[in-house]
Structure 1
Amino acid sequence: MKLLTVSALLCAMIALTTAANEVGKDGSESNPPGEHLVEKRSAFFWRPWGWTRYRNRYYHFFPNQLTWAQAQRHCQSLNANLASVRNLGEYRAIQRVILNGAHNHVPTWIGGSDAQQERYWFWIDGTRFTYANWCHGEPNNVRGRENCLHMNWTGNLCMNDIPCDARYPFVCARKVRRSLE
């Protein structure tokens, strides 16, 4: 009997919620008599909770100390990639995301790598590598092992190549996607 009562209340709640959606703000019906609302859609931009938007991307700082590959795998599990940087404005926006998350400008993985071929840097998301804020003398590929990229290196807060098996926090990025409600 209790299950039947709960089911009836749930159905009533759904019916009332649906009916309330069809009433306009002034109390009148939103659809003229005889017309039925077949599908209600409105375009909006979906923002993942806790992510920061800069232009057409969302960014999120993760304090976990992971290798570059582990960090990328974590980003992919969120339908994202390690962040790519296309210009100084975006670099500074990512620095703000790091500062807000870590309360400091900590060295942080982003999605650059030349592991496929030395001195041919690319972004893991496929974006062309056209901007870099390298520290003086970088990239230097010390001992032939520095194939991954992190930012906020030294007091200059610049980019540095470093071994991919080092462990750092990281920033994931995902494109703003337009959805239908």
Structure 2
Amino acid sequence: MADIDALAARVRAASHLTGTFVLRSGRTSTEYFDKYLFEAEPALLADIAAAMAEHLPAGTELLGGLELGGIPLVTLLSARTGLPARFVRKKAKEYGTRQIAEGGEVAGRRVVLVEDVVTSGGAVLDATRVLREQGAIVEDVLCVIDRQEGGRERLAEIGLTLRPALTRADLEAAEPRG
């Protein structure tokens, strides 16, 4: 538990912002965890990937990082675990291979999605739908932060298990007292 507490404190210190922020879901929040701030710090990013690797379910064949914040995470997680990565776009390119999932086939393979922050789960739902249409088996999602604002429940509705390294409660517990 001490390791998670220390990681939560580091992630909070690196990325917690206050103000008025519009989230992907369209909702407004007075706090924001800027994933680019923790993803830009190599030592912190490596420790986050280590924490995420502990939640990786048995039987995982591929890691699918969601554009854009999931890409650095999936890259480090792939290097750490030896599992191949796929890079999942928000929409297919209009040129070249025109793929949603870059890096190789997903059909018939057990793909664990990798995301930075889950609030409502909208980006994960979109990616899951497309990957399942391509024949991928998608049942699990790893994320750095579960904001605990309904995403886990929305994902569960379509058979996804959310496996966060940290939750909003972990980050709140790490808030400096003063």
TM-score (ref. length: structure 1): 0.28
Q: Of the two structures, which has the highest relative contact order with CA contacts closer than 8 Å and spacing of 6 or more?
A: 1
* Structure with higher helix content: 2
- Higher Rg: 1
TM-score (ref. length: structure 2): 0.28
